[in-house]
Amino acid sequence: MSISITPTEQKLRAIVAPKLRVSPEQVPLDKSLLEDLNLDSFDQMTVILEIEEAFAPVTISDKSAEELLTLRELATYIDGELGNS
């Protein structure tokens, strides 16, 4: 049984994959970007900016960026902001 991937999660995977040097399908949705995937703070900031650009008018505050640890959490937040939940 496979878990379905939302369009938002797919787009987030595509944004993060180049930073991890893997294909989008290899980007885990439930791993911490900083701790498990080893993105440094600069990479995380770059990813957040790319996400905001891709999902405008969504903005992610510094506080939210610290609290939203995984791509799945980010996707839920973005969908909520866009009214897609």
What does the pLDDT look like over 35-58, one tens digit per residue? 888 888 888 889 999 999 999 999
Task: Note whether 50 and 17 are within 8 A (CB).
Answer: no
CATH superfamily entry for domain 7-82: ACP-like (1.10.1200.10)
Banded model confidence at residue 2, pLDDT cuts 50, 70, 90: low
pLDDT value, residue 30: 94
Residue 80: phi and psi, rounded to 5, are -65, -45
What is this structure's pTM? Answer: 0.88
**Distance from C-alpha of 83 to C-alpha of 62, rounded to nearest angstrom:** 21
Residue 1 has pLDDT above 70, yes or no: no
